[in-house]
Structure 1
Amino acid sequence: MNLTDIKKIAVQHGLSTTKLKKVEIVRAIQAEEGNTPCFDTGLASECGQTNCLWRDDCK
């Protein structure tokens, strides 16, 4: 997912994206949704979140 689309999702959640990197924005969205903010932490194969919106970009 590109950064523009991610920022749109963040704004829908009422989150500010100013000066944040992609990883920080995705983790903020995850936390806002009540999920573990685990995006790009190296645990993609262990997290068990197979339906995660960010799964394709996660490592």
Structure 2
Amino acid sequence: MSSKKVTKKQLLEMASDLNIKGAAKLNKAALIHTIQIAEGNSPCFQTITNCAVTPCMYRAECQV
């Protein structure tokens, strides 16, 4: 998986594709949590130490 961080612009595009309203008002972590929920995943971004979930597009920022 890429070690590049996901940009806010990319997240807003994903949110738009998922019909998430008010995405522009959310901070990056809250936006990622909202996207994770909309995709049917656990909103785990930056909440799990030593996460073993792979692949994950947020790993570069999550496990710091």
Normalising by the residue count of structure 2, what TM-score does the alignment of the two structures yield?
Answer: 0.77
Structure 1 unmatched ranges of 5 or more: none
**Residue matched to 2:41:** 35
1:26 paired residue among 28, 32, 42: 32
CA-based RMSD: 1.3
Q: Count the aligned residue pairs.
A: 57
Which consecutive segments of 4 or more residues in structure 1 shift more than 4 A? none
Point out the structure with max Rg over C-alpha: 2
Deviations 1:6-56 (A, max 9, x none): 111111111121310000110011011111001112x1413x311112111
Normalising by the residue count of structure 1, what TM-score does the alignment of the two structures yield?
Answer: 0.82
| Larger RCO, structures 1/2 (Cα 8 Å, 6+ apart) | 2
Identical columns (%): 30
Structure 2 unmatched ranges of 5 or more: 1-5
1:9 paired residue among 14, 21, 40: 14
